[in-house]
Amino acid sequence: MGSTAKGIIERPRTTCAQGGALATLASLPDVIGISHAAEGCSGNLTGSIGTCSGYNGEGYCGGTQTPSSAVREKNVVFGGTDRLRQELKSAQELLEAKLFVVVTGCMTEIIGDDVQAVVDEFEDAETPVIAVNTPSFEGDAYSGYERVLTGIFNKYIPTSDEKDDKLVNIFGVIPNFDPNYRGDLEEIKRLLESVGLKVNTFFTPDQTYDNILSASKASLNIHFSRVWGVDFEKGFEQKHGTPHWITDLPIGSVQTGAFLRELAEHIEIDKDLLEEVIKKEEERYYNYFIKTLDLVINAQFFYYAATVTNSNYAIPLAKYLKNELGWKVDDVFVTDLLTKVKAKKFEDVFSELGVPGDLIRETDTKQIAWQLNKRHARNQGQRYFDQHGPLFIVGSSLEKYAAQDIGALTYAVSYPVVNRVITQRGYSGYNGGLNLLSDLITVPVSGR
């Protein structure tokens, strides 16, 4: 929680649980999320989802097109289930989808609408309907992601007796709240396929609804989040018997090589092929990487670094900056709203892995700015002063003002990203490492 005051958050970098849920649903193939809330909830979220993660757009039936029960004052007094029932009936007639997922808002949760009962009435409908409870007072966007995954994969899709020993599911990369999610997933998929695996990413353009259904056949779930969706993975393992491996999204050559080798401990891969792939990828990677060496070493583009990201990116990003770019990582700000248990777990992993920099959990934007200011104090007239600068803040778009105040460079990789457009760009794997290299080094040269 923020250090501001008990439980109050200044400029939170998240939305409500429904926001995370609708973002997730908007990226799933042939699945439509239906908001059971006031009309404004999904309307407002259009901006936060479609805009704040590098202008991702509204997708197939998200954003302003999201069906909504649009409950009014009378529904808040007398109940909103009739309105939801009618909405679902119309949606069956009007919309083309393989699955409808109803997600709730605060008002319908407070008044206690029995959404499950309404959904059950549509058992024989053309398009199946399920419901997921997503009240914002119980969790934020990240928990919305977990809840939707649990609803679809652990409760809805049927189990499968046969397992495909080459098939893996990827979870933990959170649509929109990891703004580069599509590019990140595509690169992971590319790498896993190159070592002979089949991959369900669920959220990339190549995926279809069949990928969702086939998730139960997977032999392994790779989960790229230390804190979000861990319980979902346990549930998945219980229901479908698929084991899970929790790790960090690899960024750059060093981490990706290690990731692929560790992967071989969790699923059967041809070792020779694996080494061959790694060798080939590394050769290509460093061929390009070295092209920037002349610039980097001559201009001495080495920085004190602070990262301000969600927990998913914090660890791999800090490691990449230290191990590959040779920067001195001072501060690793993690901006998620974590419970004590989750926070403890993350802190333990952070120290176990020997991640560079001090871990600082802080949700409040102004507090982050102040802490950065304090930790990277400027010379105030001392004759000799070891300033921890030049500083490079790799954070979100919100760090722009802190960077201006301190005189630091900054680049946005974490939600909200509003100062650049992300299409297919990712930072994971070998290609991602090169992308991040060029994006970060572009910042100091962009004024030339």
Partner 1 sequence: MSELENKYVEKSIPPTREERLEATDAYHGCSCDLLDCSRNCCLKGKDRDFWQGSSSCQMFLSIMMSAPIENSVLIMHGPVGCGHQLHIQTFSTNNGKRVRGLTPNPVNWLSTNLSTTEIVNGGEKKLREAIEYADKTFRPEFIFVLSTCAPNIIGDDVEKIIEDESKVVSAQLTAIHCPGFRSKYVSSAYDAFYHSLIRHIQLEPIEYKDYVPLNPADPNATFLAAGYEYKKKYTVNVMTLESMGAQDEAELSRILNALNLNVNVLPEYSNADKIRFVSEAALNVSLCWMHDDYFVKYLKDKYNVPYYMGMPLGLKATRKWLVDIGEHFGLKKEAERLADYEEKLVLEAIAPFKEKLKGKRVMISGGSVRSAVEASLIHDDLGMEIVSVIGLLYDSNAEAAFEDLVKDHPQVPVVVSDQPYEFVNQVKQSNPDIVLCHANGLTEPAKLGAVTVPEFDIGGAYFGYNGVFQVARQLAFALENDSYVKEVSKHVKFPYKKTWYEKDPFTYLKD
Smallest distance, Å, CB 82 to partner 1? 11
Token look-up 């071989």 returns: 264
- Cα 100 to Cα 142: distance, rounded to the nearest angstrom: 20
- Cα 390 to Cα 302: distance, rounded to the nearest angstrom: 8
Q: Does 271 bind partner 1 (CB under 8 A)?
A: no
Smallest distance, Å, CB 89 to partner 1? 8
Stretch that binds partner 1, among 137-145, 148-156, 196-204, 353-361 (CB under 8 A): 137-145
Task: Give the orientation angle of helix 365-375 with respect to helix 399-406, to 10 degrees.
Answer: 30
Q: 46-68 burial, b if ≥16 CB within 10 A, otherwise e?
A: bebbbbbbbebeebbbbbeebbb
Q: Does 39 bind partner 1 (CB under 8 A)?
A: yes
Smallest distance, Å, CB 114 to partner 1? 17
| Closest to partner 1 by CB, 277 or 412 | 412
Q: Does 234 bind partner 1 (CB under 8 A)?
A: no
Q: Which spans in 209-251 are helix H? A: 209-213, 230-240
Q: Which residues pair with 16 in a beta bridge?
A: 140
Of 308, 349, 354, 358, give the one whose Cα is nearest residue 330. Answer: 358
Q: Does 65 bind partner 1 (CB under 8 A)?
A: yes
Near partner 1 in 301-340, by CB under 8 A:
337
| Closest to partner 1 by CB, 89 or 155 | 89
Q: Does 208 bind partner 1 (CB under 8 A)?
A: no
- Single out the residue of 24, 27, 42, 307 in contact with partner 1 (rule: CB under 8 A): 42
- Single out the residue of 23, 25, 28, 38 in contact with partner 1 (rule: CB under 8 A): 38
Near partner 1 in 98-117, by CB under 8 A:
105-107, 110-111
Give the type of residue at 319: K
CA 161 to chain CA centroid, nearest Å: 31
Near partner 1 in 75-94, by CB under 8 A:
75-76, 86-87, 89-91, 93-94
- Single out the residue of 48, 81, 104, 221 in contact with partner 1 (rule: CB under 8 A): 48
Q: Does 8 bind partner 1 (CB under 8 A)?
A: yes
- Cα 398 to Cα 419: distance, rounded to the nearest angstrom: 10
Cis ω on the peptide bond leading into residue 390 (within 30° of 0)?
A: yes
Stretch that binds partner 1, among 67-75, 192-200, 201-209, 379-387 (CB under 8 A): 67-75
Of 309, 307, 331, give the one whose Cα is nearest residue 414. Answer: 309
Q: Does 405 bind partner 1 (CB under 8 A)?
A: no
C-beta of residue 351 within 8 angstroms of C-beta of residue 344: no
- Cα 75 to Cα 315: distance, rounded to the nearest angstrom: 45
Smallest distance, Å, CB 108 to partner 1? 9
Q: Does 125 bind partner 1 (CB under 8 A)?
A: no
# chain residues binding partner 1, by CB under 8 A: 77
- Single out the residue of 28, 56, 101, 140 in contact with partner 1 (rule: CB under 8 A): 140
| Closest to partner 1 by CB, 17 or 325 | 17
The three-point CA angle 110-114-116 to 5° equals 130
Q: Does 418 bind partner 1 (CB under 8 A)?
A: yes
Pairing of strands 244-246, 328-334: unpaired
| Closest to partner 1 by CB, 136 or 431 | 136
Q: Which two tokens stand for residue 18?
A: 């429904």
- Single out the residue of 27, 54, 67, 392 in contact with partner 1 (rule: CB under 8 A): 67
